[in-house]
A = this chain, B = another copy of it.
Amino acid sequence: MNAPTTAPFHVAQRDVPQALIQALQQRFGNNCSTALVIREQHGRDESAFTTVPPPAAVVFAEKTQDVADAVALAAQYQVPVIPFGVGSSLEGHLLAVQGGISIDVSRMNRILSINADDLTVTVQPGVTRKQLNEEIKSTGLFFPIDPGADASIGGMSATRASGTNAVRYGTMRENVLALEVVTASGEVIRTGTRAKKSSAGYDLTRLMVGSEGTLGVITEITLKLYPLPEAVSAAICSFPSIEAAVRTTIAIIQMGVPIARVELIDSNTVRMVNAYAKLGLTESPMLLMEFHGSPAGVKEQAETVQDIATEFGGQSFEWATTPEERTRLWTARHNAYFAAIQSKPGCRAISTDTCVPISRLADCLLDSVAEADATGLPYFLVGHVGDGNFHFGYLIDPNNSTEFATAEMLNHQLVARALSLGGTCTGEHGMGLHKMGFLLDEAGAGAVQMMRTIKQALDPHNIMNPGKIFSL
């Protein structure tokens, strides 16, 4: 375990009575573990924060009733519960800052029903996105949301995740149709239906999507699916500068090209990826793009984009039309994080996640690049730029408090800039612990108070993943 980093959040663990642990062990037998190694594994995520003591116990749920019973028992003792999928969250969502128990739903990993004719699927929360796409392959449909990590659908719902395909297909906000949720009292409720749209009462589905486990534990998710596109082509294009790549993206979006993916990778990151994955990509800023549609439609989109890119100095369009070539390309993109981590042994990444209106993307990004360069701190830079969303990953030595402070300063400056441009501090990672400090600046006191009021009404004893999103 690494030495402490300065945590920008409050740790105040509440007591977990032995009687609760005994009750859980009685109810769950071997599916309730208090082994340190298991608890430690459930008390961290992919964030840079590693110093919070782990949960007191881990319950491995195998069905909705397990979750309901675990929450009901925790509620009886007013002990926090933290849902756990695969542990790929990036903002400290899983850390037991107020103690409590972890409910691991990774064994709830069944596809419950595929309704290919309706383009919907209902899954348990522990199903991962790759598993889902593998299991529905024969239907000719796919689930497009791709945050990079092979995250669980439950976790993706809880953080309102998105990723590379969101520019065309939307985020979890747009793609979750209905949920089953265990509430703070251990009751099982359903939100939404399989109908594509509805005006029936409050949108509890959207309230739960992105609530990060603070309002309930998601135990079932109904998702929209899409027909696999008849034709897919992908391309890399190198640019003389980040600005040229970004201006190309802005023009693509403003022209309404229905591009499926348009990802920025800066030259730093290309270098790291080349080293990590033994690739020979040109080490300049690049856009990775993907086009979905009919053969003619894809060709048309690609031509339009090539014209725009050329205007901004884009060079060496490289096309990847076979599935293997495309996989190689997207693997390179998805490995950016690990490639970066490996480029500085022992480091951890402090991730940023700002998202701004597309017209402000160049301003926001270029000023932040200049700021980061001025500090000398190594970083990677990737972005779902078609949505105005990008990530710096500042690579810090977790034992070096100066580097930590520099990274935090850069993140603060970046967020302040994004907010001043009409953007958000987090496009897709969620607030967790790390972004909590920004919510008041972004949403304003009135909106945060409304969120708190809802939280207090639905979870009066503050047991659902407490200490996340906002302080209570």
Q: B-contacting residues of A (Cβ < 8 Å)?
A: 115, 117-120, 159-162, 166, 170-171, 173-174, 183, 187-191, 193-204, 206-207, 209-211, 215, 226-227, 229, 250, 253-256, 293-294, 296-297, 300, 353, 355-360, 387-389, 418-419, 422-431, 435, 438-439, 442-444, 446-448, 450-451, 453-458, 469-470
Query: Which residue of B has the minimal Cβ distance to A292?
Result: B256
A173 vs B224: C-alpha distance in the bound complex, in angstroms?
15
Verify A199–B453 contact, CB threshold 8 A. Answer: no
Q: Which of B198, B206, B450 contacts A189 (CB under 8 A)?
A: B450
CB neighbours of A455 from chain B (8 A):
202
Q: Which of B118, B193, B427 contacts A199 (CB under 8 A)?
A: B427
A119 vs B418: C-alpha distance in the bound complex, in angstroms?
18
Verify B173–A197 contact, CB threshold 8 A. Answer: yes
CB neighbours of A454 from chain B (8 A):
202, 207, 454, 457-458
CB neighbours of A438 from chain B (8 A):
200
Smallest CB-CB A-B distances: 10 pairs: A189-B446, A227-B256, A206-B206, A457-B457, A117-B359, A198-B424, A118-B357, A194-B422, A195-B355, A160-B199
CB neighbours of A294 from chain B (8 A):
297, 300
Q: Report how many copies the assembly holds.
A: 2
Given contacts A424-B198, A431-B199, A439-B201, contact A358 B118 (CB under 8 A): yes
A355 vs B193: C-alpha distance in the bound complex, in angstroms?
10
CB neighbours of A200 from chain B (8 A):
424-426, 431, 435, 438-439, 442-443
Task: Tell me if A's interface is mostly helix, strand, loop or mixed.
Answer: mixed
CB neighbours of A255 from chain B (8 A):
227
CB neighbours of A193 from chain B (8 A):
419, 422-424, 442
A356 vs B190: C-alpha distance in the bound complex, in angstroms?
17
CB neighbours of A427 from chain B (8 A):
195, 197-199
Query: Which residue of B has the minimal Cβ distance to A432?
Result: B199
Verify B300–A450 contact, CB threshold 8 A. Answer: no
A360 vs B439: C-alpha distance in the bound complex, in angstroms?
43
Verify B357–A159 contact, CB threshold 8 A. Answer: no
CB neighbours of A360 from chain B (8 A):
118
Query: Which residue of B has the minimal Cβ distance to A295?
Result: B300
Verify B196–A359 contact, CB threshold 8 A. Answer: no
Given contacts A195-B424, A227-B255, A359-B117, contact A201 B166 (CB under 8 A): no
CB neighbours of A447 from chain B (8 A):
189-191, 201, 204
